A and B are shown apart, each in its own frame.
Chain A
């Protein structure tokens, strides 16, 4: 009986890959585990391992040709000389239909993570309590990827209810525990006997790998602390999510950075004046948020998100504010910032920050958003770069206000300056656009009275 071989999905985000090279040829007998072909994915080149057995009868996608995920790439059959023509015709038709329908459904599928998880900030990651999301995406991938995911976050871990509770209590990441029960089920005994790999040993590995003959060298920073004081802190859900999304973003997005220096004299003066109004205590960040919304309104191309097949220019200007909280960070959202006055923006941000610190944000208060602002100015930072919170295409990193000496007609004077660094997704925002956007933002901040318009 003939069977179809389809283009595998070798990464969660893969929609298409280039079948770089066939490693077998028509007529070969294929066994499970045999390497069939090399596939270039959106991230890397992977050798695709067969899960089927049979004779490779027909290659439909020659080496060097791109193919969509689940597209028919070859036909196998049990018998070497079996007639496959009828099957071939049907399978090709079915594959075309399937790939076509999958293409149509694509935007929705990609958009899903955006609403479920959003967040960003200094490190641009989100505290999205949706651990099932990543595994769900991976679950459709074939065997090679499944193996990687099983040990990873969210993969099905076989463990007894007691073992789970004990691991939770002890802060042991249960997927790291080797199971000794039936089929590797993790049971009480395994948690009781679990010892995390000692840090010293883990450090020694790469060192000895590089210089197998020489003595194991401890890294410099390690030498400051005696071995006995090192300890391993297991990852909580937030840290895992931060890690995963941060990596996705920094590896998957062609980032570039543009920095401007803004004279903050006018903002400081305006702020002092506004804060004399009873009941108001505006921060510099409130004003920057408002100014950013105006700049985004002027350049809607920056207020956009990348969705693989298309770029979505967002109708609303919903700005995420990165908030550092215990154990991580989260990015609550101020909605329709451009429609709101400074007073309202300020009070909303204060409320959101308080809720975030208390861990009481509702999902709709941190999911979504079209642009992110991360401000480390209060820590005396000059400038920094932030990592984009996908599918957003930009994040603004705000440094602290510093005094700077300048010459005014040969007379030394001082002014307050602040550096803004914008990280952009080059797939959406080109360098000139980013520069124009920042220039507009700089003008708004140097002429903050415009914010009243």
Chain B
């Protein structure tokens, strides 16, 4: 039987399920189509399970340094399958949480693969191959993205793996090559290295975490080297092939074409994502893609076809869960007729969960230079923070960039043990269009790492108290 929904969302990741809930909360009849687990990559194969793995690594890191805190811990061994199973359990619990939310909001979940047949008509094929039609007044495409594949790195799940395989490896690699030092590559480099794998991290661009501020990236590079991670920047991967299962030979070429030969037992390919636009019937209904293959949308997430929206990774820009959720809200608001403004893409925070963590929002120092924005920069190193010293995490700093004329917060960059949690107040400051004055005159609790934010704001005016 065919039924007509006000909104049908395709894909249940953090973009899709949030859009579905927002629509349902506004009293719309909503269906959510998912071909796999509810929650998408984020909950099942991305943000959440990797944080579980990284927590195991952090605990291992603490145990390794337990002596520094006056505790003698002996015979620490890694139970690798347990680390993986814990991560899977966390993912499962989160996915169940989404299931509950769908029920609570009376959203119909349709299992199967969706294909647009015509404007307002979707064909869903379930796992058994049974087909049914779903009618929708509005469609929100939230199909996400997948790891990009390259012919020279044939992903086989054993020799060449992606993040997804890494999340459920049965055994811990001994020596690993990680290609690509974006957030995924960097997080896995920290994770595997901390657990005892010899890690070689290669990045083609001149810095690890290429989107982050240069100074922050350099600080992380120094820290990674200290931790024993072999980092290669401005380096290309030349010939790489598996000579036999578990033995992969790779050649690295640096900027001056100097060659480094490596033999590893695993290669993690983390070089970008590509949008999931195949087999969706986009062409058939006339939804246009941009030159990079992402779905083209207007400021309110509407595609070239009226009534069809796209959000999250499939719609390009920053491939981040929170950006997807925010776009979901914009799309639903547009459908409801309440949207006033689209998303402010300059105010999307980024977070990387290695140790030290890296978190940022807004422009980097270099971007300000390129855009000819006159700025005043304030820094505060955690080595000058009492709290940081007390907890034994003095690495890193807070770097705040303010417009020179009006003092508005243009960019915030933090590297440190709790950077990702500390960033929130700067996101709020930016949203409220605060200047250094509001930040430096906000009384921060003592002792906290967040005091460094206040001090960095002061430093931008040359009046920091503790440096």
A161–B433 touching, CB < 8 Å: yes
**From A161, which residue of chain B is reached at the shortest CB distance?**
B435
**From B409, which residue of chain A is reached at the shortest CB distance?**
A162
User: Does chain B have a CB within 8 A of A166?
Assistant: yes
User: Does chain B have a CB within 8 A of A217?
Assistant: no
Q: Can you list, as one digit per residue, whether each of A151-173 has a CB less than 8 Å from chain B (1) or not (0)?
A: 00000000011110110010000
CA distance A163 to B438 in the complex (A): 13
Taking A166-B406, A169-B405, A169-B406 as contacts, is the C-beta distance between A161 and B437 under 8 angstroms? yes
B434–A165 touching, CB < 8 Å: no
CA distance A160 to B432 in the complex (A): 6
Partner of A162, one of B340, B341, B408: B408
A160–B340 touching, CB < 8 Å: no
CA distance A417 to B142 in the complex (A): 90
A163–B340 touching, CB < 8 Å: no
CA distance A160 to B340 in the complex (A): 18
CA distance A187 to B430 in the complex (A): 11
User: Does chain B have a CB within 8 A of A180?
Assistant: yes
Shortest C-beta distance, A400 to chain B (Å), equals 48
Shortest C-beta distance, A194 to chain B (Å), equals 15
**From A162, which residue of chain B is reached at the shortest CB distance?**
B433
Interface positions of B from 134 to 187, Cβ below 8 Å from A: none
CA distance A166 to B437 in the complex (A): 15
User: Does chain A have a CB within 8 A of B386?
Assistant: no
B434–A160 touching, CB < 8 Å: yes
User: Does chain B have a CB within 8 A of A245?
Assistant: no
Shortest C-beta distance, A149 to chain B (Å), equals 25
User: Does chain A have a CB within 8 A of B46?
Assistant: no
User: Does chain B have a CB within 8 A of A290?
Assistant: no
User: Does chain A have a CB within 8 A of B210?
Assistant: no
A160–B405 touching, CB < 8 Å: no
CA distance A169 to B340 in the complex (A): 27
User: Does chain A have a CB within 8 A of B407?
Assistant: yes
Chain B positions within 8 Å of A165 at CB level = 406-408, 435
B406–A187 touching, CB < 8 Å: no
Q: Can you list, as one digit per residue, whether each of B345-381 has a CB less than 8 Å from chain A (1) or not (0)?
A: 0000000000000000000000000000000000000
User: Does chain B have a CB within 8 A of A442?
Assistant: no
Chain B positions within 8 Å of A57 at CB level = none
User: Does chain B have a CB within 8 A of A419?
Assistant: no
B340–A161 touching, CB < 8 Å: no
Chain A positions within 8 Å of B438 at CB level = 161
Extra contacts, 10 of them, besides A161-B434, A162-B407 (Cβ < 8 A), are: A161-B408, A161-B432, A161-B433, A161-B435, A162-B433, A162-B434, A163-B433, A165-B408, A180-B340, A187-B433
Q: Can you list, as one digit per residue, whether each of A46-83 has a CB less than 8 Å from chain B (1) or not (0)?
A: 00000000000000000000000000000000000000
**From B434, which residue of chain A is reached at the shortest CB distance?**
A161
CA distance A160 to B438 in the complex (A): 11
B405–A162 touching, CB < 8 Å: no
* Chain A residues within CB distance 8 Å of chain B: 160-163, 165-166, 169, 180, 187-188
Shortest C-beta distance, B429 to chain A (Å), equals 9
CA distance A161 to B430 in the complex (A): 11
Closest 4 pairs (CB-CB, A-B):
A160-B433, A162-B433, A162-B408, A165-B406
Can you give 20 A-B contacts (C-beta < 8 A)?
A160-B432, A160-B434, A161-B432, A161-B433, A161-B435, A161-B438, A162-B406, A162-B407, A162-B408, A162-B433, A162-B435, A165-B406, A165-B408, A165-B435, A166-B406, A169-B405, A169-B406, A180-B341, A187-B433, A188-B433
Chain A positions within 8 Å of B407 at CB level = 162, 165
Shortest C-beta distance, A237 to chain B (Å), equals 20
**From B405, which residue of chain A is reached at the shortest CB distance?**
A169
Chain A positions within 8 Å of B435 at CB level = 161-162, 165
Interface positions of B from 386 to 436, Cβ below 8 Å from A: 405-408, 432-435
Chain B positions within 8 Å of A161 at CB level = 408, 432-435, 437-438
CA distance A187 to B431 in the complex (A): 10
| Contacts across chains A and B counted by CB atoms under 8 Å | 29
CA distance A305 to B141 in the complex (A): 75
Shortest C-beta distance, A165 to chain B (Å), equals 4
CA distance A98 to B434 in the complex (A): 44
Chain A positions within 8 Å of B405 at CB level = 169
Chain B positions within 8 Å of A187 at CB level = 433
Shortest C-beta distance, A363 to chain B (Å), equals 26
Shortest C-beta distance, B52 to chain A (Å), equals 36
Chain B positions within 8 Å of A166 at CB level = 406
CA distance A166 to B434 in the complex (A): 12
Chain A positions within 8 Å of B432 at CB level = 160-161
Shortest C-beta distance, B439 to chain A (Å), equals 10
CA distance A162 to B429 in the complex (A): 11
CA distance A163 to B435 in the complex (A): 10
Shortest C-beta distance, A178 to chain B (Å), equals 13
Highest count of chain B CB atoms <10 Å: which of A162, A163, A169: A162
**From A187, which residue of chain B is reached at the shortest CB distance?**
B433
CA distance A173 to B383 in the complex (A): 45
Chain B positions within 8 Å of A169 at CB level = 405-406
CA distance A160 to B433 in the complex (A): 6
Chain A positions within 8 Å of B408 at CB level = 161-162, 165, 188
CA distance A162 to B439 in the complex (A): 13
Chain A positions within 8 Å of B434 at CB level = 160-162
Shortest C-beta distance, A69 to chain B (Å), equals 38
Shortest C-beta distance, B342 to chain A (Å), equals 12
Shortest C-beta distance, A376 to chain B (Å), equals 42
**From B429, which residue of chain A is reached at the shortest CB distance?**
A161
**From B340, which residue of chain A is reached at the shortest CB distance?**
A180
Chain A positions within 8 Å of B341 at CB level = 180
Highest count of chain A CB atoms <10 Å: which of B407, B408, B437: B408
**From B430, which residue of chain A is reached at the shortest CB distance?**
A162
CA distance A376 to B60 in the complex (A): 86
CA distance A180 to B435 in the complex (A): 19
Shortest C-beta distance, A59 to chain B (Å), equals 45
CA distance A137 to B384 in the complex (A): 49
Shortest C-beta distance, A429 to chain B (Å), equals 50
Chain B positions within 8 Å of A163 at CB level = 433
CA distance A99 to B461 in the complex (A): 53
Shortest C-beta distance, B410 to chain A (Å), equals 10
Highest count of chain B CB atoms <10 Å: which of A161, A163, A165: A161
**From A168, which residue of chain B is reached at the shortest CB distance?**
B406
CA distance A188 to B347 in the complex (A): 14
CA distance A157 to B114 in the complex (A): 50
Highest count of chain A CB atoms <10 Å: which of B341, B432, B437: B432
Shortest C-beta distance, B192 to chain A (Å), equals 44
Q: Can you list, as one digit per residue, whether each of B445-457 has a CB less than 8 Å from chain A (1) or not (0)?
A: 0000000000000
Shortest C-beta distance, A172 to chain B (Å), equals 13
**From A165, which residue of chain B is reached at the shortest CB distance?**
B406
**From B438, which residue of chain A is reached at the shortest CB distance?**
A161
CA distance A169 to B433 in the complex (A): 16
Shortest C-beta distance, B458 to chain A (Å), equals 16
CA distance A188 to B406 in the complex (A): 11
Shortest C-beta distance, A318 to chain B (Å), equals 40
CA distance A165 to B402 in the complex (A): 14
CA distance A160 to B408 in the complex (A): 10
CA distance A187 to B406 in the complex (A): 13
**From A186, which residue of chain B is reached at the shortest CB distance?**
B433
Chain A positions within 8 Å of B340 at CB level = 180
Shortest C-beta distance, B361 to chain A (Å), equals 15
CA distance A169 to B407 in the complex (A): 12
Shortest C-beta distance, A379 to chain B (Å), equals 41
Shortest C-beta distance, A283 to chain B (Å), equals 46
Chain B positions within 8 Å of A160 at CB level = 432-434
CA distance A180 to B341 in the complex (A): 9
Shortest C-beta distance, B457 to chain A (Å), equals 13
Shortest C-beta distance, B412 to chain A (Å), equals 15
CA distance A163 to B406 in the complex (A): 9
CA distance A166 to B406 in the complex (A): 7
CA distance A169 to B434 in the complex (A): 16
CA distance A287 to B21 in the complex (A): 83
Chain A positions within 8 Å of B437 at CB level = 161
Interface positions of B from 205 to 232, Cβ below 8 Å from A: none
